């Protein structure tokens, strides 16, 4: 059960930071135990998505020969402690959907098990956006084979006070943006150890992580998941976010996916979503890409609503974003809602980049919505409205 907030004395932010400092334990002592060999059994860390889109987990022992997706049991957790079920009927059922190696228990064949959430009656929870996304992807629209996604996850690191971005002077500001993007040096790169640890951990897990870079705002970083097909993109994104939380926990650093963590002249954080179908990737695919973009333009407001909370603070038309109220697209233009990469334009095929989703977006919602809008044959009626969507210079 959640504690009654009214009777709980809330610790201040500073004292939370102190508590975390005191809780830190000697990792080299832990290593002695983590490297103990175990046979016949493995540890399976079950991951699920909570009421606010964050990943929680708990662990169970599984027979080593039962560690495959079809063999892993469903399980449950106390949904009354996550605001996802009432106390008198508190069980949320979790069903395994994808399995990865566990980078936090590297000795042995331990696994991370991504699940989704159901009532005891078998209905997906309202927060189970994966189930809804699966319904869309299962439609397998004609001529829309192998929808590929490349998701660029930006994130911002903070001290444990949750006020000071990593590397920033307490109560002040660093030098203006410019040197930080992809920069090297102790005066401009803050948190590289986290980016590196996360990258390796994702590779170890078996995720399709395709790269990483330091961002424009100091203390802000990005990594890319993909290309992944269909539902895998969002599954892998959620697991990579979980790994990021765990890595930051180990380093005693706070990570946020807030789309505009520092107001003013500092870049926000997005989750650019790169997308293509088989047809778009083949010779002559540019026409299909442009049609898809115009369809996205015809449903701009609907997509914006689904693209993350607080995104209006980020999509201002400045700092490499397009204004939230105006749809636009262009070649190599980072001030547009949708960018056609230069190479795609030159080669006449490739992919599009939807730059609107915010860093805290729900990737199940975003990826399935793009698929539905651009590939659903019913969207043909959209094309009348879509005709008026024009490319900017
Ligand atoms: P940007 O230039 O916008 O910073 P990135 O290199 O950060 O782009 O990310 C591009 C992402 O798009 C990568 O994850 C890459 O794997 C993915 N990608 C590449 N080709 C395709 C494609 N045809 N369809 C979908 N995603 C793609
Ligand atoms: Mn990028
Ligand atoms: Mn970026
Ligand atoms: Mn991008």
3-state secondary structure of 118: strand
Testing ligand 1's pocket by substitution, the residue of 146, 154, 213, 226 carrying the most ligand atoms inside 8 A of its CB is 226
Among the candidates 75, 96, 126, a domain finishes at: 126
Ligand nearest to the CA of 210: 1
Give the closest residue (by CA) to ligand 1 atom 13.
150
Residue 227: asked if its preceding bond is cis (omega within 30°), the reply is yes
Q: Is residue 174 part of a domain?
A: yes
Closest CA to 86 of 55, 124, 120: 120
- The 10 Å Cβ neighbour count of residue 27 is 9
The answer to pTM > 0.85 is yes
Rounded Cα–Cα distance for residues 225 and 146 (Å): 16
Number of domains in the chain: 2
Cβ partners under 8 Å of residue 23, min gap 6: none
Structure confidence by residue, pLDDT tens digits, 163-207: 999 999 999 999 999 999 999 999 999 999 999 999 999 999 999
Q: Do 297 and 178 share a structural domain?
A: yes
Same domain, 281 and 315: yes
Please report whether residue 256 resides in a domain: yes
| Residue 21 forms part of a structural domain | no
* Domain-embedded: residue 141: no
Q: Which neighbouring-strand residues pair with 156? A: 220, 256
User: In terms of residue numbers, what domain contains 119?
Assistant: 40-126
CATH code of 324's domain: 3.30.590.10
Distance 154 CA to ligand 2 centre (A): 8
* Interval 138-151: pLDDT, tens: 999 988 889 999 99
Q: Based on the domain organization, do 196 and 297 belong to the same domain? A: yes
CATH number of the domain enclosing 113 = 3.10.20.70
89: which residues sit within 8 A by CB, 6+ positions away? 120
Q: What is the DSSP string of 36-71?
A: ----SEEEEEEEEE-TTS-EEEEEEEEEGGG-STTT
- In whole angstroms, give the CA distance from residue 277 to residue 143: 8
Which has the closest alpha carbon to 114: 56, 64, 153, 61? 56
Answer whether 373 contacts ligand 1 (Cβ < 6 A). Answer: no
185: left (phi over 0), alpha (psi -120 to 50) or beta: left
Looking at the domain assignment, is residue 230 inside a domain? yes
Query: Residue 63: which residues within 8 A CB-CB, separation 6 or more?
Result: 40, 41, 42
227 shares a domain with 334: yes
Instruction: Find the 152 Cα to ligand 3 centroid distance in Å.
Output: 7
For the ranges 2-6, 14-18, 373-377, the lowest mean pLDDT is seen at 2-6
Residues 185 and 82 in one domain: no
Q: Do 62 and 173 sit in the same domain of this protein?
A: no
Q: Is the same domain home to 161 and 307?
A: yes
* Residue 142, in any domain of the structure: no
**Tens-place pLDDT, residues 67-118:** 999 999 999 998 999 989 888 888 999 999 999 999 999 999 999 999 999 9
Q: Is the beta carbon of 242 within 6 A of some atom in ligand 1? A: no
Position 211 pLDDT exceeds 90: yes
Whether 300 is in a domain gets the answer yes
């Amino acid at each position: 059960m959640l504690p009654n907030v009214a009777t709980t004395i809330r610790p201040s932010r500073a004292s939370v930071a102190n508590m975390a400092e005191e809780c830190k334990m000697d990792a080299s002592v832990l290593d002695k135990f983590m490297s103990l060999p175990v046979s016949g059994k493995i540890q399976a860390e079950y991951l699920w998505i909570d009421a606010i889109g964050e990943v929680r987990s708990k662990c169970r022992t599984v027979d080593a020969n039962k560690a495959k997706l079809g063999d892993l049991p469903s399980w449950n957790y106390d949904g009354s402690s996550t605001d996802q079920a009432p106390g008198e009927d508190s069980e949320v059922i979790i069903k395994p959907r994808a399995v990865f190696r566990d980078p936090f228990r590297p000795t042995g064949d331990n696994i991370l098990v991504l699940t989704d959430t159901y009532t005891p009656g078998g209905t997906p929870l309202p927060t189970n956006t994966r189930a809804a996304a699966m319904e869309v992807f299962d439609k397998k629209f004609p001529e829309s084979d192998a929808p590929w996604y490349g998701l660029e996850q930006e994130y911002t690191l903070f001290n444990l006070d949750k006020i000071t971005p990593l590397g920033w002077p307490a109560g002040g500001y660093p030098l203006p943006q410019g040197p930080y993007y992809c920069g090297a040096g102790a005066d401009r790169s803050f948190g590289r150890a986290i980016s590196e640890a996360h990258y390796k951990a994702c590779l170890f897990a078996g995720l399709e992580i395709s790269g990483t870079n330091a961002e424009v705002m100091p203390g802000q970083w990005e990594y890319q998941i993909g290309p992944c097909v269909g539902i895998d993109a969002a599954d892998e994104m959620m697991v990579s976010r979980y790994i990021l939380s765990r890595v930051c926990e180990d380093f005693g650093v706070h990570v946020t996916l807030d789309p505009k963590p520092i107001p003013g002249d500092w870049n926000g954080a997005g989750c650019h979503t790169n997308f293509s179908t088989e047809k778009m990737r083949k010779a002559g695919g540019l026409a299909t890409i442009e049609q898809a973009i115009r369809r996205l333009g015809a449903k701009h407001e609907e997509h914006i609503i689904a693209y993350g909370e607080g995104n209006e603070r980020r999509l201002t038309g400045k700092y490499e974003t397009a204004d939230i109220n105006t749809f636009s697209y262009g070649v190599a233009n980072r001030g547009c809602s949708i960018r056609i990469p230069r190479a795609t334009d030159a080669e006449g095929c490739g992919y599009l980049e939807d730059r609107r989703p915010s860093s805290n977006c729900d990737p199940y919602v975003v990826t399935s919505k793009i698929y539905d809008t651009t590939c659903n044959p019913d969207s043909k009626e959209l094309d009348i409205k879509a005709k008026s969507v024009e490319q900017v210079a």
